[in-house]
């Protein structure tokens, strides 16, 4: 492997940092023991800038290129999302039923019946006639404000940063 630039980040297919590298796990380092690395990273990824600085933390993160609106060290996105009414288009979940007795087990083309015809506990549906409206509480919200994962398809690899190497010069 060619000698890396100090602070260069590479992906590795094995689960530990090679000699001279550290995992990009956000660890806090003392400035006085890593002055050259600190001169490149500063407090971009954390630390107090007086005695400590942090390595990048790429755990559960996707790296992105910088531009005018995305700055080095900026964190974007979230791992889980809780949907709200504002995230969904306006819609209803109507429930139709009839006052007629049930005559069939098949839902196809039928609606809920008010009673079971002839005492059979399995005939729940009837022809759509004599429709009734339910109270709004009968067809209320679902979901319970629970969050769900917000992940793109991914392959996990080990991101490491060079703790030793050539000091990069500006071109």
- DSSP H/E element including 36: helix 35-41
What pLDDT sits at residue 121? Answer: 47
Residues contacting residue 161 through CB under 8 Å, at least 6 positions apart:
7, 8, 9, 21, 22, 23, 24, 55, 56
Residues in the chain: 171
- Residue whose token pair is 């079971």: 116
What pLDDT sits at residue 64? Answer: 92
Q: Return the higher-pLDDT residue of 17 and 150.
A: 17
| Cα(167)–Cα(72) distance, integer angstroms | 19
In this prediction, what percent of the chain has a pLDDT beyond 90?
50
> Beta strands 115-116 and 101-102: pairing type?
parallel
What pLDDT sits at residue 132? Answer: 65
pLDDT surpasses 60 at 117? no
- DSSP H/E element including 10: strand 9-12
| Cα(27)–Cα(57) distance, integer angstroms | 8
The mean predicted confidence, pLDDT, of the chain is 85
Q: Return the higher-pLDDT residue of 43 and 154.
A: 43
Concatenate the DSSP letters of all residues of 104-170 into one string: BS--TT-EE-SEEGGG-TT--EE-S-SEEPPPGGGG---STT--EE---S----EEEEESSSBPPPP
What pLDDT sits at residue 137? Answer: 55
Positive or negative torsion for Cα 163, 164, 170, 171:
negative
Mean pLDDT, residues 108-130 taken together: 63
What pTM, to 2 d.p., does this model score?
Answer: 0.67
Q: How confident is the model at residue 65 (pLDDT cuts 50, 70, 90)?
A: very high
Q: Return the higher-pLDDT residue of 71 and 87.
A: 71
What pLDDT sits at residue 70? Answer: 92
Mean pLDDT, residues 39-45 taken together: 98
- Residue whose token pair is 């080095």: 72
Q: How confident is the model at residue 58 (pLDDT cuts 50, 70, 90)?
A: very high
pLDDT surpasses 60 at 133? yes
């Amino acid at each position: 492997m060619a000698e890396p630039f100090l602070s260069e980040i590479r992906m590795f297919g094995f689960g530990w940092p090679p000699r001279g590298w550290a995992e990009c796990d956000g660890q806090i380092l003392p400035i006085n023991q890593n002055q050259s690395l600190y001169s490149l990273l500063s407090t971009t990824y954390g630390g107090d800038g007086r005695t400590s600085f942090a390595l990048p933390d790429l755990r559960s993160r996707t790296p992105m290129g910088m531009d005018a609106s995305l700055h080095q060290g900026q964190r974007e996105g979230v791992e889980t999302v809780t949907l709200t009414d504002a995230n969904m288009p306006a819609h209803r979940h109507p429930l139709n039923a009839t006052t007629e007795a049930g005559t069939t087990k098949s839902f196809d083309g039928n609606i809920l019946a008010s009673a079971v015809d002839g005492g059979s506990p399995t005939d729940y549906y009837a022809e759509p006639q004599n429709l009734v409206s339910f109270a709004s509480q009968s067809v209320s919200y679902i979901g319970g404000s629970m969050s769900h994962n917000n992940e793109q398809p991914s392959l996990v690899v080990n991101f490491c940063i060079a703790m030793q190497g050539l000091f990069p010069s500006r071109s």
